[in-house]
Chains A and B, each alone.
Chain A
Amino acid sequence: MTGNLLIVLFDGLAFGMLLFVLSVGLSVTLGLMNFVNLGHGAFGMLGGYLALVVTREAGLSFFVALPAAFVGAAVVGIACERTLFRRLYRSGELNQVLFTVGLVFVATSIATFLFGTGQQPIQIPDMLRGWVEIGGLRFGIYRIFLIVVALVVTAALVFGLEFTRFGAKVRAAVDNQRVAQGLGIDVDTIFAITFALGCGLAGLGGALAIEIVGLDPTFAIHYLIYVLIVVAVGGLGSIGGSFVAAALLGIADVAGKYFVPELGSFLIYLLMVGVLFWRPLGLFGKR
Chain B
Amino acid sequence: MIPVKEILMPKSVDEVCRLIRDNNGLSKIIAGGTDIIPGFHIESPRFENIERLIDINNVDELKSVSIDNNIITIGSAITFSEIISSQILSEKLPLLVKASKTIGSTQIRNRATLGGNFINNAPCADSVAPLLVYDSEVKIKSFTAERIMKLQDFLVKPYGTRLKPDEIVSQIIVPVPAKSFRGDFYKLGRRRAVSISRISLAILLDVDNGLINQIKIASGAVTPIGTRFYDVELFAKGKNFTDESMKEISIKLGERILQVSGVRWSSEYKIPVVQQVCYQLLKKIERGENLI
Indicate, yes or no, whether A interacts with B.
no
